[in-house]
């Protein structure tokens, strides 16, 4: 009967979620088809017109209108008390089919649990010379172990998907080398305090704090054919093959307070002499000021040459000793201690090992990789150098701003 269709109510947040689902390229088809039903129904479109637009029968449109109307109060409570993700999951549940009756499962919960436990074992434990499981190999191994009499790879993959196990995927991670948790915490705290203290030192004590590191092996790759620009319905296309013209190393400083890249150095190598020259070049931009360099533990960052240069530049008359034998120059540890001395006008703050995430310059290197290198084509090393220097100037004019460093060295608490 006309006028008997369920009345549809939608909040702004619910409407935004429904629009995102309707236009999603990754959401399941049933969701992208049903979300527009609710949006059109909210606009008071008749079921018959909705059915014609969605290519669905009128009765199905009515079902989903009624389903939404019945769930709306519950969705509103979730919207007020939960996160955006909670709301989206709840809306997707409303627009999904309810479990249907059917034949009882062929496999018991114990068998399924054993299959999932098998997926979490390294394949080498089963005598298989592979690095990770596939559904086919898991099905075969489950049968060999007598977990099940027979099972298809498709069924195994279904169980893996439900359990959110992805043996085909992996991610790199790097564990910090510092074995003493208290010592590690102190080093992390020192770096964070340095960043937080930098604005005051810059304004009150004429001290520059810079985050410094090297971006090595930047390749001058030239595509053998021109890149084709994007067009409606077609993304930009880059030639796969390329010619190599050599590499460059970028040594850069990110000024923690101004957000600019200061006195960048481009050259073919990253040696002790290169780094000392870079530090000298950086200090020369404001020779009367004090400088704090935040660096990692690379050997050239605490070399004999750097210690001698700092001693000479800061007029330190202390006996330095001899490398490998005695004094300040004896070892990397003694040189780091000397170069970290807070009484020096030029000093270095060393990150804990394997904590590059604490070095702000790494964020800038990521920007350079994305905006210049990854999709670039360079006819020579000189061309690469020119484009990198042009981007650094562009970065200082357009992007330069300090990072809002909120990490204090302690775990975040709620």
Domain count, the chain: 3
What is the model's pLDDT at position 26? Answer: 87
What is the model's pLDDT at position 386? Answer: 96
Query: Domain check: are 190 and 158 in the same one?
Result: no
Domain-located, residue 4: no
- Residues 360, 196: Cα–Cα separation, whole Å: 13
Domain-located, residue 99: no
What is the model's pLDDT at position 414? Answer: 40
Site of tokens 């559904």: 135
Query: Domain check: are 268 and 297 in the same one?
Result: yes
The kind and range of the H/E element at 412 are none
Query: Domain check: are 264 and 298 in the same one?
Result: yes
Query: Domain check: are 53 and 195 in the same one?
Result: no
3-state SS class at 16 = helix
What is the model's pLDDT at position 97? Answer: 85
Using alpha carbons only, how large is the chain's radius of gyration in Å?
Answer: 31
What is the model's pLDDT at position 54? Answer: 86
What is the model's pLDDT at position 175? Answer: 66
Is 80 exceeded by the pLDDT of residue 109? yes
Query: Domain check: are 36 and 149 in the same one?
Result: no
* 3-state percent helix, strand, coil for the chain, nearest multiple of 5: 45, 15, 40
* pLDDT digit string, tens, across residues 61-89: 999 999 999 999 999 999 998 899 999 99
b/e map of 198-237 (b: 16 or more CB within 10 Å)? beebbeeeebbbbbbbbbeebbbbbbeeeeeeeeeeeeee
What is the model's pLDDT at position 174? Answer: 66
Is 90 exceeded by the pLDDT of residue 113? yes
What is the model's pLDDT at position 356? Answer: 85
Q: Rounded to the nearest 5 degrees, what angle is found at the Cα of 15, between the Cα atoms of 19 and 24?
A: 15
Q: How confident is the model at residue 411 (pLDDT cuts 50, 70, 90)?
A: low
Query: Domain check: are 243 and 366 in the same one?
Result: yes
Q: Where are the alpha helices (DSSP H) in 264-396?
A: 272-283, 304-313, 332-339, 361-368, 381-394
Is 90 exceeded by the pLDDT of residue 182? no
Is 90 exceeded by the pLDDT of residue 369? yes
Is 90 exceeded by the pLDDT of residue 179? no
Contact status, residue 68 vs residue 94, Cβ threshold 8 Å:
yes
| For the chain, percent of residues with pLDDT exceeding 90 | 73
What is the model's pLDDT at position 98? Answer: 77
Domain-located, residue 409: no
Query: Domain check: are 42 and 65 in the same one?
Result: yes
Query: Rounded mean pLDDT of the chain?
Result: 91
Contact status, residue 264 vs residue 392, Cβ threshold 8 Å:
yes
* pLDDT digit string, tens, across residues 295-305: 999 999 999 99
Query: Domain check: are 136 and 279 in the same one?
Result: no
What is the model's pLDDT at position 184? Answer: 85
372: which 2 tokens?
A: 């210049």
| For the chain, percent of residues with pLDDT exceeding 70 | 95
Domain-located, residue 88: yes
What is the model's pLDDT at position 1? Answer: 43
What is the model's pLDDT at position 102? Answer: 66
Contact status, residue 150 vs residue 197, Cβ threshold 8 Å:
no
Domain range for 219: 181-227+238-399
| Residues 85-107, mean pLDDT to the nearest whole number | 84
The residue ranges of DSSP E strands in 21-107, in sequence order, are none
* pLDDT digit string, tens, across residues 388-399: 999 999 999 999
Angle 12-22/84-94 helices, nearest 10 degrees?
60
- Residues 105, 88: Cα–Cα separation, whole Å: 30
* pLDDT digit string, tens, across residues 254-286: 999 999 999 999 999 999 999 999 999 999 999
389: which 2 tokens?
A: 């220097």
Write the CA distances from 309 to 330, 386, 390, integer angstroms: 16, 30, 30
Contact status, residue 322 vs residue 377, Cβ threshold 8 Å:
no
CATH of the domain at 297: 3.30.420.10
What is the model's pLDDT at position 140? Answer: 95
Query: Domain check: are 199 and 143 in the same one?
Result: no
What is the model's pLDDT at position 412? Answer: 47
Domain-located, residue 168: no
Query: Domain check: are 152 and 283 in the same one?
Result: no
What contacts 134, CB < 8 A, 6 or more positions away? Answer: 153, 167, 168
Domain-located, residue 362: yes
The model's pTM: 0.66
Helix-then-strand count for the chain, H and E:
14, 5
């Amino acid at each position: 009967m006309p006028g008997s269709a369920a009345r549809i109510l939608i909040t702004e947040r619910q409407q935004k979620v429904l629009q995102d689902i309707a236009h999603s390229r990754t959401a399941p088809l049933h969701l992208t088809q049903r979300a527009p039903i609710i949006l059109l129904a909210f606009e008071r479109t008749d079921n018959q017109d909705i059915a014609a637009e969605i290519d669905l029968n009128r009765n199905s449109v009515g079902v989903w209108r009624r389903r939404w109307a019945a769930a709306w109060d519950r969705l509103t409570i979730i919207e007020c008390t939960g996160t955006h993700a909670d709301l989206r999951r709840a809306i997707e549940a409303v627009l999904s089919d309810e479990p249907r009756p059917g034949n009882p499962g062929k496999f018991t919960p114990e068998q399924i649990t054993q299959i999932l436990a098998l997926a979490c074992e390294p394949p080498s434990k089963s005598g298989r010379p592979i690095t990770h499981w596939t559904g086919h190999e898991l099905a075969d191994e489950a049968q060999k172990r007598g977990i099940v009499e027979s099972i298809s790879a498709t069924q195994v993959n279904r169980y893996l998907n439900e359990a959110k196990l992805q043996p085909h995927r992996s991610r790199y991670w790097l564990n910090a080398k510092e074995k003493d948790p208290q010592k590690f915490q102190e080093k992390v705290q020192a770096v964070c305090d340095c960043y937080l203290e930098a604005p005051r030192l810059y304004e009150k004590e004429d001290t520059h704090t810079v985050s410094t590191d090297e971006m090595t092996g930047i390749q001058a790759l030239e595509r053998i054919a021109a890149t084709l620009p994007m067009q409606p319905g077609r993304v930009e296309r880059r030639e796969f093959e390329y010619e190599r013209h050599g590499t460059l190393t970028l040594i850069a400083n990110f000024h923690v307070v101004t957000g600019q890249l200061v006195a960048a150095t481009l050259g073919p190598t990253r040696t002790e002499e290169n780094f000392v020259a870079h530090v000298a070049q950086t200090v020369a931009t404001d020779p009367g000021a004090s400088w704090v360099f935040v660096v990692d533990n690379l050997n050239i960052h605490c070399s004999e040459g750097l210690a001698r240069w700092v001693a000479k530049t800061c007029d330190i008359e202390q006996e330095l000793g001899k490398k490998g034998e005695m004094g300040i120059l004896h070892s990397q540890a003694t040189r780091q201690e000397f170069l970290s001395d807070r009484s020096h006008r030029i000093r270095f703050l060393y990150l804990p090992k394997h904590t590059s995430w604490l070095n702000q310059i790494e964020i800038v290197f990521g920007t350079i990789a994305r905006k210049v290198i990854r999709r670039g084509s360079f006819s020579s090393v000189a061309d690469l150098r020119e484009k990198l220097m042009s981007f650094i100037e562009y970065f200082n004019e357009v992007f330069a701003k300090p990072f809002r460093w909120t990490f204090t060295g302690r775990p975040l608490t709620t």
